[in-house]
Structure 1
């Protein structure tokens, strides 16, 4: 009988600890296509990417400056949906459209699967939105592809984008670095692809002082 009560006590304690553990786990929001607050247009500075991935096909002397990394649905309170069902593959027409926007097929397929499926627009609708978003944001003259190294502070890069894109708010753009070098520029857009405010967690990620802008390959 003593063994029985001992086992029962251990079982109750174990279940209680599981309940406590489960209660401490943050609840994950289900990813539902079309359920998000705004877009994050992410432009990658290709020369920096190619310093770390020289074998990538976008790094074979094509002279890219900024390239489309992705158009990402975001939540205003932070985080984002991803890989929203139903997951579908791009058809031939959609792939052809995507390759006019993304530097590689691998990146295109990844971005559609992880982020595009959550737009609620379908594949061609998402690619059209990415096309319009790219056209919406003008690259500053000082940040066009160049064969020479340049140096700017992150605040200067953001200011150049604001000057080239009237309407970009103070909290509507973020500059990211990889070590001492420019990595990405992220611009926040409404679901109608107008300039808008960034949500929680979207912020500059560069060191203080000047950062290096590598030349094109």
Structure 2
């Protein structure tokens, strides 16, 4: 039966309107690409890192070139590495040339006056890796090359909430001076470990507390504060002598202790191991030197210098966080620094 013409027209209009108002569901948004910075620990296996960054090459930002004019290349992979160097500071020596650091104020009343404190946990290539890559350690990995610059973007720096509270005792430089040491150690070294920032900072503390003695400081060191100790006795106090390196200033005052660790399957430090040649033959081990006789057969263990609120000029400027020598704030501000610290060096740390 044929519909009346008006009814047929109405039916067509309804059908046409339905076609116009029917919408296809919107397409799903494209997935957000992963940001190549810190990775959760469960994703930090060598296989996962290789999948994310490609097979490791000698492209970390600080890989050395045989041709000194060659430009640094590559995209800063997170490489495989065979060891860690735990760098520990003897603060009484450090603070004599860095009196402007907050961690050095009233040092004589702190943990660092009688104990080693954390400088950092640094991935190192073992001897075979170093020969293959022509590079002794990776740095600024996972796309963080831009973090080398003085105007590094905020994404380079870790969230202060990832720093364990215990770091205030064991690594005061990580939390003082506006988190200066954390902001340096994480992008340069932590980014190459495959750990997230919180796990990296905790691994620093765990490695320190695994050492002999009281909270990582052997009695041979603590019992000789203000005196001296034979280098070989100091080495023996840490156990496994080939896993320890000692740095001294020109006067044979202890500056730093380096401990070499193997790497476990989660990319964390595990058992102590023989240090790579890049550690034993470098500045990290300059108390020993390269000759048949140690450069410093006896090592001086300086005591904390009483705090002087008037301060005095530092013997050297240009250390990390320091600018050139100065006598007033204006000289520093003219060169882009914040003020002249009581060390006699320009600094970016404002007065509190």
Q: Indicate the TM-score class for this superposition, using the shorter chain for normalisation.
A: 0.7 to 0.9
Asked if residue 74 in structure 1 is aligned to residue 118 in structure 2, the reply is: no
Deviations 1:62-90 (A, max 9, x none): 33131101100000024100011244421
Q: 1:24 to 1:159 in 2, by over 3 A?
A: closer
Equivalent position to 2:249, from 137, 156, 178: 178
Note the C-alpha offset of 1:107: 1.2
- Partners of 1:56 and 1:130 lie apart in 2 by 21
Give TM-score scaled by structure 1 length: 0.77
Deviations 1:166-198 (A, max 9, x none): xx2x32111110112111111100113211111
Note the C-alpha offset of 1:108: 1.8
Note the C-alpha offset of 1:98: 7.7
Asked if residue 214 in structure 1 is aligned to residue 302 in structure 2, the reply is: yes
Give TM-score scaled by structure 2 length: 0.49
Q: 1:86 to 1:96 in 2, by over 3 A?
A: farther
Q: 1:85 to 1:55 in 2, by over 3 A?
A: same
Aligned to 1:42: 87
- Partners of 1:52 and 1:134 lie apart in 2 by 24
Length, aligned pairs only? 188
Deviations 1:77-113 (A, max 9, x none): 2410001124442114214558444212211211112
Counterparts of 1:15-164 in structure 2, within 5 Å, are 25=67, 31-62=76-107, 63=110, 64=112, 65-77=115-127, 78=130, 79-87=136-144, 88-97=156-165, 99-100=167-168, 101-104=170-173, 105-138=179-212, 139-144=217-222, 148-162=225-239
Asked if residue 189 in structure 1 is aligned to residue 261 in structure 2, the reply is: yes
Q: 1:122 to 1:33 in 2, by over 3 A?
A: farther
- Partners of 1:38 and 1:66 lie apart in 2 by 21
SS at structure 1 position matched to 2:78: coil
Q: 1:145 to 1:33 in 2, by over 3 A?
A: farther
- Partners of 1:81 and 1:94 lie apart in 2 by 23
- Whose strand proportion is higher, 1 or 2? 1
Note the C-alpha offset of 1:46: 0.5
By relative contact order (CA 8 Å, sep 6+), the higher-ranking structure is: 1
- Partners of 2:99 and 2:260 lie apart in 1 by 29
- Partners of 2:271 and 2:185 lie apart in 1 by 21
- Partners of 2:207 and 2:157 lie apart in 1 by 22
CA RMSD of aligned residues (A): 2.5
Note the C-alpha offset of 1:44: 0.8
